[in-house]
Structure 1
Amino acid sequence: MNPVNAKENQYGRRIIILIGLAVQATFGVGAAFAPNFYVYVLLRFVVGTTISAVIMNVFVLGTEWTGRKQRMLAGIITDYFFGFGYILLAGVAYFIRDWRKLQLAISAPGFLFIFYIWVLPKSARWLMAKQRKTEAMDLIRKAAIANGRPLAADFELCQEHKDLKNEAEENKYSVIDLVRTPKMRKQSLILFYLWFVNVLVYYGLSLNISDFGINIYLTQLIFGLVEMPARTITLFTLNRSRRISMFSFIAVGGLACLLTIFIPDELSVLRTVLAMIGKFGITASLSIVYVYSAEIFPTVVRQNGIGMSSMCARAGGVIAPVIYLLRSYSKEAPMVIFGLCPLLGAGLSLLLPETANKPLPDTIQDVEQGMNSVDTEKMQEVHFQPCPRNSDVII
C-alpha cells in the first residue's frame, strides 16, 4: 500500500501536506545546485516522493471540507490547478533555458507556502476518527462563522451510524481482503490495472512531447490546455454513468494513441492533434478513476484499496519513460503499447458495477452479494447538526 496513506491515517492530512511542501521546495532548490547527475537524480527522487503526499492529501482534505453535493466539483477544481501548473511550466521553460535557473525558478516559490502553517485547517473528519472531538467541534464552529452560518452555542457534533460502524470495523481488514473473495478480487484487480494504465499513458505522452514533431514548448502548452476541458466534461458525464464515462474516455485515449502510428512524419500537426486527443481522453479517465474507485471499494477496505491503486499508478509512472527504449527496435512500439493498453482497460471497465446514484457498499459481503446495506442519501455524508442530549448516536 502507498506509505503516504498510512502516514495520513496516523498523522492527519495537514501535517503531511506541510511537510511535503517543505521537502519539495528544499530538495527542489537543492537540485539546482547539484554537482553531478547522480546527486541531481537523488534530489529529484525525493521531490517526486513528495508529489503524492501533497496531491493526494490536498484532494482528500478539500473534499472532506466540502458538502456532499459539491464534493465532485471540489475534486475537479483541485485537479484544475494541476493543469495550470502544467501550462505555466511551458511558459517558464520557454523563457528560462538554463536548466539550473529553471529548476530554481520552479522550486523556490514553494517556500511561499510557509504561510499555510497559519491557514491550512486540519480535517474535522480525521479528528473525529481519532476521538479528538473538541478540536473537531472548534473547527466546525470556525467554519460556520466564516461562512456566515454560526451554529448554536450548545450544538453537538453528530455522525451517522454507517460511518461509526465502519470506523470500528476498518481495523479488522487488511490488503489481503481486497483479493480474498471472488467478486472483490475481480473488481480490485481491474481497478489496479485502470490506475496503472491511466498513469502509464498520461506520463508516457507528457514526458515525450518531442516525438510529435513540433516545438516542444508549444506541445507542452497544448497538452496543458487540453486538460481543462477534459476535467470539465467529467462533471457532466459522471452523474449519468461512472462505467460508461470510464469506458468512453479511456477508449478515446487509447484509439487516438494507436492512430498516431499511421500518420507520416510529414504530417506532424495531425500527429500532435491525435496525441492531444489521447491526452484529453486519458486525463478525463484519470479524473474519473479517483471517484469510481472510492465508490467501488467497500468502506471497510476503501483506504487499503485506494492505497494499493495509487501504488499501481506509481508503477505506471515509472515504466512510462522506459517504454520509449523500445524505439530502438520499432519506432511505433511505444504508441502501440500506449494505444492497446487503454483499450484493454476500456473492455475491463465494462465488467465493473455502475455506482452513479447508487448506495455505497459497506462490507465485502455487500460486494459479493451485489447489494448495499444503507441508504446513500443518509449515509454518505457526515452531518453536523444539533443533537438531543440523550441521543444514542455515538461520535
Structure 2
Amino acid sequence: MNFDKVLDRIGGFGRFQKTLYVWICLPQIFLAFHMLVSVFTGAVPPHLCRSAWSTGNSGGPGPGLNFSIGPGESCTSFHLSQLNHSLPITEYPSSSNSCAGWEFSKEVFLSTIVTEWDLVCENATLNNIGSSIYMFGLLVGAVLFGALADKYGRRIIILSGLAVQAIFGVGVAFAPNFYIYVLLRFVVGMTVSAVIMNAFVLGTEWTGPKKRMLAGVITDYFFGFGYILLAGVAYLVRDWRKLQLAISAPGFLFVFYIWVLPKSARWLMANKKHEEALDLIRKAALINGKPLVDNNFELCQSAKNSEKMQDLRKYSVIDLVRTPRMRKQSLILFYLWFVNVLVYYGLSLNISDFGMNIYLTQMIFGLVEMPARTITLFTLNRSRRISQLAFLAVGGLACLLTIFIPDDLSIFRTVLAMVGKFGITASLSIVYIYSAEVFPTVIRQNGIGMGSMCARAGGVIAPIIYLLRNISHHAPMVVFGLCPLIGAVLTMFLPETAHNPLPDTIEDVECPRVSATAEKSQHALYEECPKQNPASSSEQWA
C-alpha cells in the first residue's frame, strides 16, 4: 500500500495523529450517552394500577401505598381507599379491564417515558419496540452514511452527524408524545452510526499499520468512559427530559470541529483530489516534525497511482458466499457479529433486571469495559481463534448460570452478569480484527460491511428478546447464554490468522497453502486446487 509508505515517512502516529484522535475520541463519550440513556429514560419503576371506579376519590394514593409486590401483580387494579397492607394485594377488589391509570413509585426516578406515557402492562411492549426502532436507526445509518462517506468524504459526514445529533437529541427532550419520541430517537440512532463509523475510518486512514490496533482500542476506552459517566449524570438528573437535555445540549459545542477536524488524505487520493491531499500530507509531516523536502515528493506522487494497482475484476457481496470455504467462513463471522452485539446490548440495556441499584450496576458494567478491552491486546498476539472462542464461552456460560441464582441473591446474579459482559465485550473487540484478517483484500470491505449490518440486526432484536419474559422470567438469559456458546463452537471452524499473512484473493482462502509457500512455482501452488483462471476463479469454485 503506497499510502502506508507515505505515513511511515511522515510519522504513522505522531503529533498530528494524536491530536486527531483527541477530536475523534471526545464524541465517543456522548455516543455512549445516546446509546445507553434508555436504561434510565425508559426505566420501569414499581407501579400499581388504579380501578376506574376509584378515580373520583380525593387525596390520591397517599404515602402508605405499598409498591413491594410480586412479579405480575403490578397490573392489578386496586381501590385507593383500601390500604390495609395486612391483606395480600390479590385480595383487593380488582379488575384488570377497569384500569384508568397507574401509580408509580418515585423512590428512584422522578419521571421516565414509562411514567409519562403509561408504558406498562398492555402497553409495555411499546417500550421494547421503541428501543428496537432506535437500534434500527443504527442499521439504517450504517448503510446510508457509509455510502455517503465514500462519496463525499468522512469529515463532512462526521460534522453533519454531530450537528443533526445535537438538534434531534435536544428535540427528544421536548417530544409531545411517545411516537414523536421514537421518531426523533430513530434519527439520533442514524447519526450515532454516522459518527462512530466514520470517526473510526478517519482515524484508521491517517494511522500507520503498526499503531492501528492500539488506536482503535483508544476510542473504545472513551466509549467505556462515557458508559461510566452516564451513571453519574443519571444519578444527579432523575427527570428523563432533563437527562435527555443534559446529554444532548453539549453536542452543540462540537461546532468548532469545522476548524480542527482534517479530511482523509487517503480518501482524497482515491478520489483524485491529489493537490489537496498533498497539502494535507505536507501539513501532517510538518506537525509531526518530519517536514517533507523536494526529493520526498516522489514518494507522495506514487500514492497518486495506487488506484491503477487495483484488481481489474469487480467483486461484490456475492463473492462472500460464492465459493465453499469462503462461504463457510463468511456465514460464521456474520453470526459472530450478530451474537456479540445481541448479547452486548441485551445485557447493557436491561441492567435493572439483575436486582441491584441501577446506577451502581451501570457503573460496574462500564468499568468492566476497560479490562475487557485491554486484555485482548495480550491474547490476540497468541491466537485470534482461541481468544474469540474463549471469550464467547465465558460470556455465554456466565449468562446461563444467572438463571440458577435465586432472585433474592441479586449480588451474585449481578456478578455473573458482569462476567458475561466482560466476555462479550472482549469478544466484540476481537471480532472486528479477526474479520479483517479472515476476509481477503478484494472483498474485505464488503465482508466488514455485511458483518456490521448483521451486528446492527442483533441490536434491533436485543430489546425484543426481553418480551420472552412473558413466557418465562429466565428466557432472555437462556437466549443470551446459548447463542454465544453456539458461536464458540462455530469459531473452531475458522482459520488461525495470528502471525499469518493476510489473504489477498479468494484463492488464498480456498487454497490457504498458497500464501504460506512463496517459494513454490505458480503451478505447484495450485496443484491441490481446481485448475482455474484466477480472474474467474469464483465462478469455477461455485
What TM-score, normalized by structure 1, do the two folds share? 0.91
Query: Is 1:359–1:372's contact at 8 Å kept on the other side of the alignment?
Result: no
Matching of residue 104 in structure 1 with residue 242 in structure 2:
no
Q: Distance in 2 between matches of 1:340 and 1:122?
A: 44
Map 1:209-288 onto structure 2 (within 5 A): 209-288=351-430
- Amino acid corresponding to residue 233 of structure 2 in structure 1: V
Partner of 1:347: 489
Partner of 2:331: 189
Aligned-residue offset at 1:373? 5.4
Aligned-residue offset at 1:16? 1.4
Aligned-residue offset at 1:320? 0.5
Question: How far does the alpha carbon of each residue in 1:234-276 deviate from its partner, in whole angstroms, 9 at most, with x for none?
Answer: 1111122111111111111111101111111121111101101
Q: Distance in 2 between matches of 1:165 and 1:362?
A: 16
Aligned-residue offset at 1:213? 0.8
Q: Distance in 1 between matches of 2:291 and 2:224?
A: 35
Partner of 1:32: 173
Q: Distance in 1 between matches of 2:386 and 2:206?
A: 29
Matching of residue 312 in structure 1 with residue 479 in structure 2:
no
Q: CA, structure 1 residues 163+183, in 2 after alignment: closer, same or farther (shift >3 Å)? A: farther
Aligned-residue offset at 1:115? 1.1
Aligned-residue offset at 1:303? 1.4
Matching of residue 116 in structure 1 with residue 257 in structure 2:
yes
Moved over 3 A (4+): 158-169, 371-376
Partner of 1:79: 220
- Amino acid corresponding to residue 197 of structure 1 in structure 2: V
Q: CA, structure 1 residues 165+260, in 2 after alignment: closer, same or farther (shift >3 Å)? A: farther
Partner of 2:350: 208
Partner of 1:51: 192
Q: Distance in 1 between matches of 2:165 and 2:383?
A: 37
Q: Which moved more, 1:47-56 or 1:98-107?
A: 47-56
Classify the secondary structure of the residue corresponding to 1:2: helix
Partner of 1:364: 506
Q: Distance in 2 between matches of 1:161 and 1:369?
A: 33
- Amino acid corresponding to residue 153 of structure 2 in structure 1: G
Q: Distance in 2 between matches of 1:234 and 1:158?
A: 38
Matching of residue 66 in structure 1 with residue 202 in structure 2:
no
Q: Which runs of 5+ in 2 are unaligned?
A: 1-141, 519-542
Greater C-alpha radius of gyration:
2
Classify the secondary structure of the residue corresponding to 1:199: helix
Question: How far does the alpha carbon of each residue in 1:178-199 deviate from its partner, in whole angstroms, 9 at most, with x for none?
Answer: 1111111111111110000000
Q: Work out which of the residue numbers 156, 160, 165 in structure 2 matches 1:19.
A: 160
Larger fraction in helix: 1
Number of residue pairs aligned between Structure 1 and Structure 2: 375
Q: RMSD over aligned Cα, in angstroms?
A: 2.1
Q: Work out which of the residue numbers 439, 442, 446 in structure 2 matches 1:300.
A: 442
- Amino acid corresponding to residue 173 of structure 1 in structure 2: Y
Query: Is 1:247–1:346's contact at 8 Å kept on the other side of the alignment?
Result: yes
Classify the secondary structure of the residue corresponding to 1:272: helix
Classify the secondary structure of the residue corresponding to 2:294: coil
Q: CA, structure 1 residues 221+163, in 2 after alignment: closer, same or farther (shift >3 Å)? A: farther
Aligned-residue offset at 1:17? 1.1
Q: CA, structure 1 residues 105+375, in 2 after alignment: closer, same or farther (shift >3 Å)? A: farther
Q: CA, structure 1 residues 271+254, in 2 after alignment: closer, same or farther (shift >3 Å)? A: same
Aligned-residue offset at 1:160? 8.0
Q: Distance in 2 between matches of 1:348 and 1:28?
A: 40
Partner of 1:385: none
Q: CA, structure 1 residues 27+375, in 2 after alignment: closer, same or farther (shift >3 Å)? A: farther
Classify the secondary structure of the residue corresponding to 1:294: helix
What TM-score, normalized by structure 2, do the two folds share? 0.67
Q: Which runs of 5+ in 1 are unaligned?
A: 377-395
Aligned-residue offset at 1:8? 2.2
Q: Distance in 1 between matches of 2:231 and 2:293?
A: 50
Map 1:155-170 onto structure 2 (within 5 A): 155-156=297-298, 157=300, 164=307, 167-169=310-312
Query: Is 1:298–1:364's contact at 8 Å kept on the other side of the alignment?
Result: yes
Q: CA, structure 1 residues 161+194, in 2 after alignment: closer, same or farther (shift >3 Å)? A: farther
- Amino acid corresponding to residue 196 of structure 2 in structure 1: I
Aligned-residue offset at 1:166? 6.2
- Amino acid corresponding to residue 476 of structure 2 in structure 1: P
Q: Distance in 2 between matches of 1:153 and 1:165?
A: 24
Percent identity of equivalent pairs: 78
Query: Is 2:394–2:419's contact at 8 Å kept on the other side of the alignment?
Result: yes
Q: Distance in 1 between matches of 2:247 and 2:216?
A: 24
- Amino acid corresponding to residue 239 of structure 1 in structure 2: N
Question: How far does the alpha carbon of each residue in 1:60-101 deviate from its partner, in whole angstroms, 9 at most, with x for none?
Answer: 211221121111000000111111111111111110011111
Q: Distance in 2 between matches of 1:243 and 1:69?
A: 21
- Amino acid corresponding to residue 352 of structure 1 in structure 2: L
Query: Is 1:214–1:269's contact at 8 Å kept on the other side of the alignment?
Result: yes
